[in-house]
Structure 1
Amino acid sequence: MEIVLAIMIGILYAAGIYMILRRSLVKLILGIIILGNGANLLIFLLGRITKGSPPIIPGDLKVFEAAYADPIPQALILTAIVISFGLQSFAIILIKRAYKVVKTDDLDEMNAIDQDS
């Protein structure tokens, strides 16, 4: 299972970087979204995938006796999802406003319009 996730992370990173390097702002946002999903999967994979029970210690025990699921990577991923959603929302609104003003989403044309002013 880990090798499949590792390959998927590599594909998501490659696709995200490829989309970020395109000249369109919409493709830039899609690249950031794909790269964020790849980072979330990487955090999940680094937390070691184990089948186990929730990490709750009964009152009469001092340590875990069996395998348990580590909650820290899951909490980090939830935090990363919320932060990436906020970043994506802000970027989409910013791009919408830039498109409304400049009437293009091509970065080269935006740069040429900026230099003409």
Structure 2
Amino acid sequence: MSGAGAVAFADLVERVFTEFDGRYGATRIAGVLTERGTPTNKQAVARVLRARGLSARRLPLPRAELNTRVVSLFFAHDCAFGAERIAVVLARQGVAVSESTVANILRANGLRADR
């Protein structure tokens, strides 16, 4: 792609990025563009995002929802996961949370991992 086509593609990528409030990264934007009839791949979208200085942002969960997710993960893993492992699982799910926050939630709910 070169010239006007590249500029049009870059504008399209930026438009989708803005439409989803900066929460979609290259993979999800490529999926949206493909669904809308512009076949592409995540590498092409990633190049545009880098060139324009855009990056997807992780939004923190509201505290009540975070509390619910931490407690449900704790019990889903048979009370074996502590704060560190729960924080890793949440990070893989795209939730930005520190290990100490998870530890505080577990402590506030009287939960302690089995050893």
Same fold by TM (over 0.5)? no
With CA pairs under 8 Å and 6+ residues apart, which has the higher RCO, 1 or 2? 1
Question: Which TM-score band applies after superposition, normalised by the shorter structure?
Answer: under 0.3
- Point out the structure with the larger helix share: 1
Question: With structure 1 as the length reference, what TM-score do the two structures score?
Answer: 0.24
Structure number with bigger Rg: 1
